[in-house]
Amino acid sequence: MEINRQFDEYYENSYIQGGTACCPGCGGPLFWRMTLEALGPKTIIYGDGPCAYCAIRNIKLPNFGIHFSFVADGSTGILAALAAKGREDITVVSSGGDGAIGDISFGKVSAAAERNENMIQICVDNEAYMNTGIQKSGLTPFGAWTTTTPLGKETPKKEIPLIIAQHRVPYVATTSVAYPRDLQAKLKKASGIQGFKYLHTVIPCPTGWRFDPAKSVEVVRLGVETWVWPLYEIEGGVLRVTLKPKQRPVEDYLKAQNRFRHLSDDQIKFIQSETDTRRQRLLENDGKRIIL
Amino acid sequence: MSFTRMMEGNEAAAWGARLSRAEVVPAYPITPQTEVISHIATFIAEGKMKAQYIKVEGEHTAMAAAVGASVAGARVFTASASQGIAYMEEALWMPPGRRLPIVMCMVNRALAPIGGLRPDHNDSLMQRDNGWIQLYCENSQEVLDTIIMAYRIGEDRRVYLPVASCYDGYFVSATATPTTVPDQVEVDEFLPPYVHEMYSLMPETYRPRPFEMNIAKARYEVQQAHERAKVVIEEVDVEYSKRFSRGYDGLLEEYACDDVDAVLMTMGSMTGTARDVVDEMQASGKRIGLLKLRGFRPFPTEELQGLAKRFHAIGVVDRNTSYGSAGGGIVSMEVARALYPLEDRPLLLNFHVGLGGSDVTMRQIGYMADKTLEAVETGRVEKAVDWVELVDLGEVM
């Protein structure tokens, strides 16, 4: 009973309602709760369809969304309307899943970045089309099983944050729901910057990644600790690695999810060496300007 | 101050948006629409129009941004054509369902691959089922006036639907005709600022769109809005003509239809040529009149039924194709459905002409009028669907 009361009280004061259409262990509602806490009530959220929208449907703040071929476009319109009405006090957030931003709406996000629209563009990345039932997207990692890559994906994940950074936008960051302070600090920083801000966040998906829903946060934390999911920001073209955990072997992360269970030792070695190279490159360039 | 000068259709459209005080214009260029948005960009650059012009990367985004801006409470204008409308199609379904009174110019141009840069109506007509109001214009003046009226119609709380002002590329878009630009003060009096009474996206007044669980009900509501729009379009037309001394007879215009046996029905720029042909033929004793179909959506069913009793034959001129259809072009099928319930209905002929923007000549219109009158005489239709351009009329094109 006491726990029920605490929950009720929590959701009473939260910008998101309790109870969602999401799967158990979904990182979506968790992410939005942290995000809205950081951004406050003067926020309009524009989201694409599927998984991300299931989560944001319960948001108590102004929001609307269309399908995942619509990312960063309606929010551009909202920004123009706000400018026409002289309302510069409102933060506009545009959200999209990995399939939207990596594939079908990639051009739209790129165009909004080029126009330097004054919005926070968020990518809620669960590394596949989960709402349609786990299909490969451009942001599915190498080796991962999905229903359209039954033998594992053969190509690596698209590096969207670095691609967006090359648009010379003022701010790009990667985040994880396992690190709420880092996430909220980056959001707060982003909301204070004029122009296009891009925030790429990993959302654990027990259904698609094939693991126990109770271990959601644990699994994404392993992603960060193994450096599969490095946390960094690129502000004004300068890279800063925001968290430098002691590196754990990628096997710890891969073995925690059944989507990787078919991987051979060689494949795991390959992922390890790719991860090491990436980590090394990031650390070498830490504090340096990385925009060409 | 009001002034009159020669003006191309596209410039008239830009004036329409400017006088209507459109606040957000998301647009992407495409021939033959381009001058609409370049004129608007110039108006804004010169400080004569206060609008946010979003230079988007494609038509899909243009309409999606229009939806976003409209939901957030801004008056929105955009324009496109042909392939652009086709690319935009997914987004074009959003405003009617969300009841957003966006106004858009559809500058007609044939679709690829059997098309070209010149006009036919398949691009806008393929949007006939998605809930947009469609008004077809004949010249620059009508384009300008229709845009101003379109905001009044779409923003009427009985309607809340997006409105497309359609006009033929080149024949209207790039042909200068005398155009009167009304006074801004007069337009402001005619068209009050836009406020959506159903929902709002602003944090202080946030009201989400009512989520209708019953899909049939929600669709029926859009259908009813179209029915009500018929009345609103007539009302707005009457009010506009009182104030600006120009009107367009709402959805359907009769031209020289008194005491005739048969009529041709046209849409868009060819109507101007048809007026001349009908005048000439009547002068030589032929009893043919002209109906100009201005409103394709909502379709003026009742009005047409009322008129039909007066004619023995109707020749519908279709500047479009509907491959494998029940018979003929899109407009003729609508007319057939409208007339079918009548016990004493006129004969129906259908002509395909002007496809891909080829000229609709006076001789072709004369041919179609003659065929329609011939049907009245013989009491039967010799050829239900006639591809006029395949008939040798002895013309050098």
Q: Does B72 touch chain A (CB under 8 A)?
A: yes
Residue B283: burial class (beta carbons within 10 Å; 0-12, 13-18, 19+): exposed
- HSE-CB at B42 with a 13 A cutoff on CA atoms is 9
pTM over 0.80: yes
- Distance (Å, whole) CA A263 – CA A106: 29
- Distance (Å, whole) CA A138 – CA A129: 10
pLDDT band at A179 (very low <50, low <70, confident <90, very high): very high
Contact residues on chain A for B209, CB-CB shorter than 8 A: 64
Neighbours of B78 (CB within 10 A): 29
Neighbours of A269 (CB within 10 A): 13
A74:B23 CB<8 A: no
pLDDT of A4 over the 90 cut: no
* Bridge-based pairing state of the strands B77-80 and B103-108: parallel
pLDDT of A49 over the 80 cut: no
Nearest-5° Cα angle at A69, A68 to A72: 85
Q: Residue A132: helix, strand or coil by DSSP?
A: coil
Helix-then-strand count for chain B, H and E: 13, 15
pLDDT the model gives residue A53: 65
pLDDT band at A126 (very low <50, low <70, confident <90, very high): very high
User: Which residues lie closer than 8 Å to A284 by C-beta, 6 or more apart?
Assistant: none
* Inter-CA distances, B191 with B22, B40, B211, Å: 11, 19, 30
pLDDT the model gives residue B211: 65
CA A185 to chain B, closest CA, distance in angstroms equals: 23
pLDDT tens for each residue of A79-114: 999 999 999 899 999 999 999 999 999 999 999 999
pLDDT of A51 over the 80 cut: no
Here the tokens at position A142 are 């190498």
pLDDT of A182 over the 70 cut: yes
B203:A75 CB<8 A: no
- Crossing angle (nearest 10°) for helices A74-85 and B59-71: 50
DSSP string for residues in A77-111? HHHHHHHHHT--S-EEEEEEEHHIIIIITHHHHHH
The pLDDT > 70 percentage for chain A reads 97
* Inter-CA distances, A178 with A35, A51, A256, B9, Å: 13, 19, 15, 58
B72:A78 CB<8 A: yes
- Distance (Å, whole) CA A231 – CA B242: 66
- Which residues pair with residue B45 across a beta bridge? none
Interface test with A, best of B20, B52, B88 (most A CBs within 10 A): B52
CA B176 to chain A, closest CA, distance in angstroms equals: 32
Here the tokens at position B48 are 């004569």
Nearest-5° Cα angle at B88, B87 to B92: 145
pLDDT the model gives residue A200: 97
Tokens 């059997």 found at? B114
Nearest-5° Cα angle at B286, B320 to B281: 65
Q: Does B44 touch chain A (CB under 8 A)?
A: no
DSSP string for residues in B233-289? HHHHHHHHHHHHS----TTEEEES-TT-SEEEEE-TTHHHHHHHHHHHHHHTT--EE
Nearest-5° Cα angle at A236, A230 to A239: 25
Closest CA to A201 of A171, A222, A232, A226: A232
Neighbours of B26 (CB within 10 A): 28
Buried b (16+ CB within 10 A) or exposed e, B378-389: eeebeeebbebb
pLDDT of A6 over the 80 cut: yes
* Bridge-based pairing state of the strands A197-202 and A171-176: parallel
Provide mean pLDDT across the span A115-132.
Answer: 96
Closest CA to B369 of B292, B317, B307: B317
Nearest-5° Cα angle at A85, A82 to A88: 50
pLDDT the model gives residue B197: 83
Contact residues on chain B for A41, CB-CB shorter than 8 A: 203
pLDDT the model gives residue A56: 64
Here the tokens at position B172 are 């209207």
Q: Please answer whether residues A67 and B67 qualify as being in contact, where contact means their C-beta atoms are separated by less than 8 angstroms.
A: no
A69:B94 CB<8 A: no
Q: Please answer whether residues B20 and B75 qualify as being in contact, where contact means their C-beta atoms are separated by less than 8 angstroms.
A: yes
Q: Residue B177: helix, strand or coil by DSSP?
A: strand
E-strand ranges in chain A read 43-47, 63-65, 91-97, 120-125, 171-176, 197-202, 232-235, 238-241
pLDDT the model gives residue A13: 83
Instruction: Give how far the C-alpha of residue B115 lies from the chain's centroid of Cα atoms, to the nearest Å.
Output: 20
Q: What are phi and psi of B207, to 5 degrees?
A: -130, 110
DSSP string for residues in B180-202? EE--HHHHHHHSPPP--SS-B-S
Nearest-5° Cα angle at A277, A271 to A281: 145
Q: Which chain A residues have any C-beta within 8 angstroms of a chain B C-beta?
A: 41-44, 46, 61-64, 66-67, 69-70, 73-78, 80-85, 87, 90, 107-108, 110-111, 114-115
Interface test with A, best of B57, B94, B198, B211 (most A CBs within 10 A): B57
- Distance (Å, whole) CA B327 – CA A281: 67
User: Which residues lie closer than 8 Å to A260 by C-beta, 6 or more apart?
Assistant: A143, A144, A145, A254
Cis peptide before A62 (omega within 30 of 0): no
Closest CA to B262 of B352, B155, B347: B347
Closest CA to B30 of B93, B119, B95, B140: B119
Chain B, 162-221: which have a CB under 8 Å from a chain A CB?
Answer: 201-203, 206, 208-209
Nearest-by-Cβ selection for A75 from B57, B68, B70: B68
User: Which residues lie closer than 8 Å to A6 by C-beta, 6 or more apart?
Assistant: none
Provide the residue-wise pLDDT of chain B in tens; the chain has 397 residues: 899 999 999 999 999 999 999 999 999 999 999 999 999 999 999 999 999 999 999 999 999 999 999 999 999 999 999 999 999 999 999 999 999 999 999 999 999 999 889 999 999 999 999 999 999 999 999 999 999 999 999 999 999 999 999 999 999 999 999 999 999 999 999 999 998 888 888 888 887 776 667 889 999 999 999 999 999 999 999 999 999 999 999 999 999 999 999 999 999 999 999 999 999 999 999 999 999 999 999 999 999 999 999 999 999 999 999 999 998 999 999 999 999 999 999 999 999 999 999 999 999 999 999 999 999 999 999 999 999 999 999 886 6
Here the tokens at position B49 are 């129009």
pLDDT the model gives residue B341: 97
CA A193 to chain B, closest CA, distance in angstroms equals: 21
Chain B, 79-118: which have a CB under 8 Å from a chain A CB?
Answer: 90-91, 94
B68:A83 CB<8 A: no
- Distance (Å, whole) CA B95 – CA A173: 34
pLDDT band at A64 (very low <50, low <70, confident <90, very high): confident
pLDDT the model gives residue B167: 98
- Nearest chain B residue to A104 by CA: give it: B60
CA B376 to chain A, closest CA, distance in angstroms equals: 53
Q: Residue B322: helix, strand or coil by DSSP?
A: coil
Here the tokens at position B332 are 């003729």
Interface test with A, best of B50, B76, B202 (most A CBs within 10 A): B202
Q: Please answer whether residues B343 and B293 qualify as being in contact, where contact means their C-beta atoms are separated by less than 8 angstroms.
A: no
Closest CA to A208 of A105, A128, A137: A128
Q: Please answer whether residues A205 and A127 qualify as being in contact, where contact means their C-beta atoms are separated by less than 8 angstroms.
A: yes
Contact residues on chain A for B51, CB-CB shorter than 8 A: 84
Instruction: Give how far the C-alpha of residue A204 lies from the chain's centroid of Cα atoms, to the nearest Å.
Output: 10
Q: Residue B42: helix, strand or coil by DSSP?
A: helix
Interface test with B, best of A70, A75, A109 (most B CBs within 10 A): A70
CA B47 to chain A, closest CA, distance in angstroms equals: 14
- Distance (Å, whole) CA A142 – CA A262: 12
pLDDT the model gives residue A250: 98
CA A119 to chain B, closest CA, distance in angstroms equals: 13
